[in-house]
């Protein structure tokens, strides 16, 4: 950017080379352009008839070079595209937060924010001050959330009913994903898995294992826990009533950890002696471990041949190199402690399970722990024809699990299929009618943006959205209904069982409004000069 030029031919560069500033209208224009571009990009994935995107990673390098990704998940799409526009980055960020916080609704939040900004473009051209729009939006957001709250239902006291609701929510969430063909099956899978958690939101004890091969309907929920490891050679492959010791200890050579120590000997004989001592130390350790009375030993670190052989001799199953998460999860599932010292066998808590066996999934062997104590853990085994399908299925299952576990925490529910949006839009419109002053226009724009969501859903499904939406709006005056995606008509969502979590909907509206407000407040974009690239000297 050129600085201002003075009379004396002395250009005054205010910013460093490469830096610069966009002001007022220009800034706003580039802000809107970025937001709308992101919104339009992701819009077509919304709803049960939304389309997927192929993301191709950069071919030139990096770990994912040339990898393909087929997805419908807003947060995943946005996190993979490198955007340069500052405002687009804000939108990417909200979808990420939505993903972290709720797990689903990542597309809706971005689309709503960008629709809000699209409305603003009009308002700004009518010379309405952004601050007025913002204060209108704040009122509108409040009203929207309040009106949504009035129609929520809470069935958490009635267990049967609640389970039914969860099934419906899972089905609604799944209906926009790749798994929609088998949505009843997967909904049941997910609900069962989540109900096992007994209200915890920690999804750690639900494990998802992906295996290439077969088709998706061969996926199943495994009671218990699967560990993707092999059992050592010469060891029993099946143990009933296992007592499991979970450890995190070096089983190669137990090094002396005191700093600065080293072995210095003057003869080969002494080396041999030391070696023997080391071996003996290892044997001691193994003996100590065996004293715990365990018949399965699982270690996070490597188990070398020698101790491995010792364990095999005693008929103990030893599993090495279970990764950190695996060990933690195992400990949680089996109810044992992760043990690093072995001097107090009476105090150590061992994990228990009824049966450990090696089973085959596709072509791979995994170790299955069934009949575990805590009963919280379960494993979802996904099967599918291609890696892309598996990955997408995993993301969908993850979304569903997140939504379900959040719903268990905050059990209020509302209606999906655009019903909630329509309801909020109508409530906000009514507020606009009552509000005096320019804010009313802003509030009205908020309701228009809300109404865009069902419009886009209908558009994506290939229906006549303007017809449907106006019918819907009229129908909404009397009851809560919205359209049926299969038939393209208006229907009662309560009958169709299309439910969504209230928490999710609320968060979508609030975050989208927050982000749009933030973008609207910007009147200057100031760029620092990009950091000069350092030459990569690592390869020279």
Partner 1 sequence: MPSVGTLAFDEFGRPVIILRGQDSKKRLFGIEAHKSHILAAKAVANTLKTSLGPRGMDKCMVSPDGDITITNDGATILSMMHVENEIGKLLVQLSKSQDDEIGDGTTGVVVLAGALLEQAEALLDKGIHPIRIADGYELAAKIALDHLDKIAESYPLDLKKLDPLINTAMTTLGSKIINRCQYQMAEIAVSAIMNVADMERRDVNFELIKVQGKVGGRLEDTILVKGVVIDKTFSHPQMPKEVRDAKIAILTCPFEPPKPKTKHKLDITNVEDYKKLREYEKEKFSEMIKSIKDSGANLVICQWGFDDEANHLLLSQDLPAVRWVGGPEIELIAIATGGRIVPRFQELTSEKLGFAGHVYELDFGTTGDHMLCIEKCAKSNTCTIFVRGGNKMIVEEAKRALHDALCVVRNLVRDNRIVYGGGACEISCAIEVAKEANKIPTIEQYAIRAFADALESVPLALAENSGFSPIKLVSDVKSQQIAQNNSRLGIDCLNKGTNDMKAQSVIETLIGKRQQISLATQLVRMILKIDDIRLPAVSTHFRLIFTIDMGSNASIMPQQEDLQTICQQTGFTAKEVQRLYSRFKILDKNNCEFLTRENLLCISEVNINPLGKRLIDVIMEDYGENNKIDFQQFIFLLAKFRRAKFKSSVTEFNTRNSKLRFLFDMYDRNHDMKIDRNELLEVLKMMVGGNVHDDQIEMIADHTINELDKDGDKSITFEEFCKTLERIDADDKMSMKFLT
Which residues within the stretch 388-407 sit at the binding site for partner 1 (CB under 8 A)? 402, 405-406
- The C-alpha atoms of residue 482 and residue 494 are separated, in whole angstroms, by 10
Query: In the complex with partner 1, which residue's Cβ is closer, 112 or 468?
Result: 112
Q: Give the per-residue contact string, 69-108, with partner 1 (x = CB under 8 A; - = no).
A: ---------------x-xx-xx--xx--x-xxxxx-----
107: which 2 tokens? 């597309």
Q: Segment near partner 1 (CB under 8 A), from 12-20, 187-195, 379-387, 428-436? A: 12-20
The order of strands in the sheet holding 206-212 is 206-212, 378-384, 220-223
Q: Is 9 in the site for partner 1 (CB under 8 A)?
A: yes
201 contacts 406 by C-beta, under 8 angstroms:
yes
Q: Which is nearer to partner 1, 35 or 496 (CB)?
A: 35
Q: Which of 121, 192, 252, 278 binds partner 1 (CB under 8 A)?
A: 278
For the chain, how many residues are written? Answer: 540
User: What are the DSSP calls for 416-478, one per residue?
Assistant: TTTHHHHHHHHHHHHHHHH--STHHHHHHHHHHHHHHHHHHHHHHTTS-HHHHHHHHHHHHTT
Give the three-state DSSP class for 385.
coil
State the binding string over 420-459 for partner 1 (x if CB under 8 A, else -): ----------------------------------------
22 vs 459 by CB, closer to partner 1: 22
Q: Cα–Cα distance between 91 and 39 in angstroms, integer? A: 9
Is residue 364 within a helix (H) or strand (E), and if so which, with residue range? strand 364-372
Pick out residues in 518-537 that bind partner 1 (CB under 8 A).
518, 521-531
CB 250 within 8 A of CB 301: yes
Tell me which residue has tokens 């939505």. 98
Binding to partner 1, residues 482-501 (CB under 8 A): none
Does 235 participate in binding partner 1 (rule CB under 8 A)? no
Which CB sits closer to partner 1, 77 or 461? 77
154 near partner 1, judged by CB under 8 A: no
303-332 binders of partner 1 (CB under 8 A)? 328, 331-332
Q: Which is nearer to partner 1, 282 or 469 (CB)?
A: 282
Nearer to partner 1, 115 or 459 (CB): 115
* Site residues (CB under 8 A) for partner 1, limited to 192-211: 201-204
| C-beta of 73 vs 459, nearer to partner 1 | 73
Cβ distance to partner 1 smaller for residue 325 or 364: 325
Cβ closest to partner 1, residue 159 vs residue 528: 528
Size of the site for partner 1 (CB under 8 A): 94
Among 81, 277, 302, 474, binds partner 1 (CB under 8 A): 277
288 binds partner 1 (CB under 8 A): no
Q: How far apart are CA 524 and CA 24, in angstroms?
A: 6
Beta strands 378-384 and 206-212: pairing type? parallel
> Residue 152 or 205: which CB sits closer to partner 1?
205
The least distance separating partner 1 from the CB of residue 238, rounded to whole angstroms, comes to 28
Closest CB 339 distance from partner 1, rounded Å:
6
Least Cβ distance, residue 526 to partner 1 (angstroms): 5
- Shortest Cβ distance from residue 377 to partner 1 (Å)? 14
Would you say 516 and 4 are in contact if contact means Cβ atoms under 8 Å apart?
no
Interface with partner 1 includes 257 (CB under 8 A)? yes
Determine contact, residues 77/56, Cβ cutoff 8 Å. no
- Contacting residues for 20 by C-beta, under 8 A, at least 6 apart: 1, 526, 527
Distant-in-sequence, close-in-space partners of 2: CB < 8 Å, separation ≥ 6: 11, 13
Residue 270 in tokens = 């002494």
Please report whether residue 363 would count as binding partner 1 according to CB under 8 A: no
CB 332, min distance to partner 1, A: 7
Would you call 321 exposed, middle or buried from its count of C-beta atoms within 10 A (0-12, 13-18, 19+)?
Answer: middle
Where in 29-58 is the site for partner 1 (CB under 8 A)?
A: 31
Q: Select from 16-24, 152-160, 310-318, 388-396 the region that touches partner 1 (CB under 8 A).
A: 16-24
In a 13 Å sphere around the CA of 311, the CA atoms on its Cβ side amount to 30
Select the residue interacting with partner 1 from 58, 122, 131, 154 (CB under 8 A): 131
Which residues does 105 contact at the CB level (< 8 Å), separation at least 6? 98, 504, 505, 507, 508
Tell me: does residue 15 bind partner 1 (CB under 8 A): yes
Of 490, 479, 482, residue with least CA distance to 451: 482
Cβ at position 151, least distance to partner 1 in Å: 21
Based on CB atoms, which residue is closest to partner 1, 39 or 417? Answer: 39
Q: Token pair of 485, please? A: 């995606």
Rounded least distance, CB 387 to partner 1, Å: 24
Q: Is 378 in the site for partner 1 (CB under 8 A)?
A: no
Rounded Cα distance, 347 and 284, in Å? 19
> Cα separation of 372 and 222, whole Å?
12
Minimum distance, C-beta of residue 385 to partner 1, in the bound complex (Å): 28
Taking CB under 8 A as the binding criterion, the range among 49-57, 60-68, 173-181, 341-349 that sits at the site for partner 1 is: 341-349
Residue 452 CA, distance from chain mean position? 26
Residue 124 in contact with partner 1, rule: CB under 8 A: no
Q: Pairing mode, if any, of strands 499-501 and 378-384? A: unpaired
- Give least dist CB 363 to partner 1, A: 31
* Cβ–Cβ under 8 Å, residues 326 and 227: yes
DSSP symbols for 193-225: HHHTTTT---GGGEEEEEEEBS-GGG-EEEESE
Instruction: State both tokens at 414.
Output: 């509302």
Q: Select the residue interacting with partner 1 from 54, 233, 258, 268 (CB under 8 A).
A: 258
For position 260 contacting partner 1 by CB under 8 A, the verdict is yes
Residue 271 sits in the site that holds partner 1 (CB under 8 A): no
């Amino acid at each position: 950017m050129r600085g201002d030029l003075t009379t004396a031919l002395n250009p005054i560069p205010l910013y460093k080379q490469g830096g610069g500033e966009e002001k007022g209208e220009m800034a706003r224009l580039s802000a809107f352009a970025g937001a709308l571009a992101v919104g339009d990009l992701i819009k077509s994935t919304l709803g049960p008839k939304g389309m997927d995107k192929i993301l191709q990673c950069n071919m030139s390098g990096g770990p994912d070079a040339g990898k393909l990704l087929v997805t419908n998940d807003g947060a995943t799409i946005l996190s993979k595209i490198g955007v340069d526009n500052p405002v687009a980055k804000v939108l990417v960020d909200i979808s990420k937060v939505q993903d972290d916080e709720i797990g689903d609704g990542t597309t809706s939040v971005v689309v709503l924010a960008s629709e809000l900004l699209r409305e603003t473009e009009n308002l700004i051209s009518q010379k309405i001050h952004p601050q007025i729009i913002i204060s209108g939006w704040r009122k509108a957001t409040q009203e929207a959330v309040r009106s949504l709250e009035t129609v929520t239902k809470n069935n958490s006291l009635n267990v049967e009913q609640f389970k039914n609701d969860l099934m419906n929510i899972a089905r609604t969430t799944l209906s926009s994903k790749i798994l929609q063909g088998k949505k009843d099956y997967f909904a049941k899978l997910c609900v069962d898995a989540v109900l096992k958690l007994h209200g915890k939101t920690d999804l750690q004890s639900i494990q998802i294992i992906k295996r290439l091969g077969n088709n998706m309907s061969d996926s199943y929920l495994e009671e218990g826990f699967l560990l993707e490891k092999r059992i050592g050679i010469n060891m029993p492959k099946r143990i009933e009533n296992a007592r499991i010791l979970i450890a995190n200890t070096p089983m190669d050579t137990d090094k002396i950890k005191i700093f600065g120590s080293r072995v210095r000997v003057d003869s080969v004989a002494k080396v041999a002696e030391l070696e023997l001592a080391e071996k003996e130390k290892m044997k001691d350790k193994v003996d100590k471990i065996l004293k715990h009375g365990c018949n399965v030993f699982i270690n996070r670190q490597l188990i070398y041949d020698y101790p491995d052989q010792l364990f095999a001799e005693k008929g103990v199953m030893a599993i090495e190199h279970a990764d950190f998460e695996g060990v933690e999860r195992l400990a949680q599932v089996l109810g044992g402690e992760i043990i690093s010292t072995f001097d107090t066998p009476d105090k150590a808590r061992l994990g228990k399970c009824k049966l450990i066996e090696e089973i085959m999934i596709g072509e791979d062997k995994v170790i299955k722990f069934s009949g575990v104590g805590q009963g919280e853990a379960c494993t979802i085994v996904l099967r599918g024809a291609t890696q892309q399908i598996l990955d997408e299925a995993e993301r969908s299952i993850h979304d569903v699990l997140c939504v379900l576990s959040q719903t268990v925490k905050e059990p209020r529910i509302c209606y999906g299929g655009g019903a909630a949006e329509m309801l909020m839009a109508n409530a906000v419109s009514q507020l606009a009618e009552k509000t005096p002053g320019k804010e009313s226009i802003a509030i009205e724009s908020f309701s228009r943006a809300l109404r865009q969501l069902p419009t886009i859903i209908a558009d994506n499904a290939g229906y006549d959205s303007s017809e449907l939406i106006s019918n819907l709006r009229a129908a909404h005056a009397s009851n809560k209904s919205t359209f049926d995606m299969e038939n393209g008509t208006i229907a009662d969502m309560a009958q169709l069982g299309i439910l969504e979590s209230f928490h999710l909907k609320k968060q979508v509206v609030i975050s989208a409004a927050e982000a749009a407000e933030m973008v609207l407040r910007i009147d200057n974009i100031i760029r620092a000069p990009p950091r000069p690239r350092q030459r990569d000297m690592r390869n020279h």
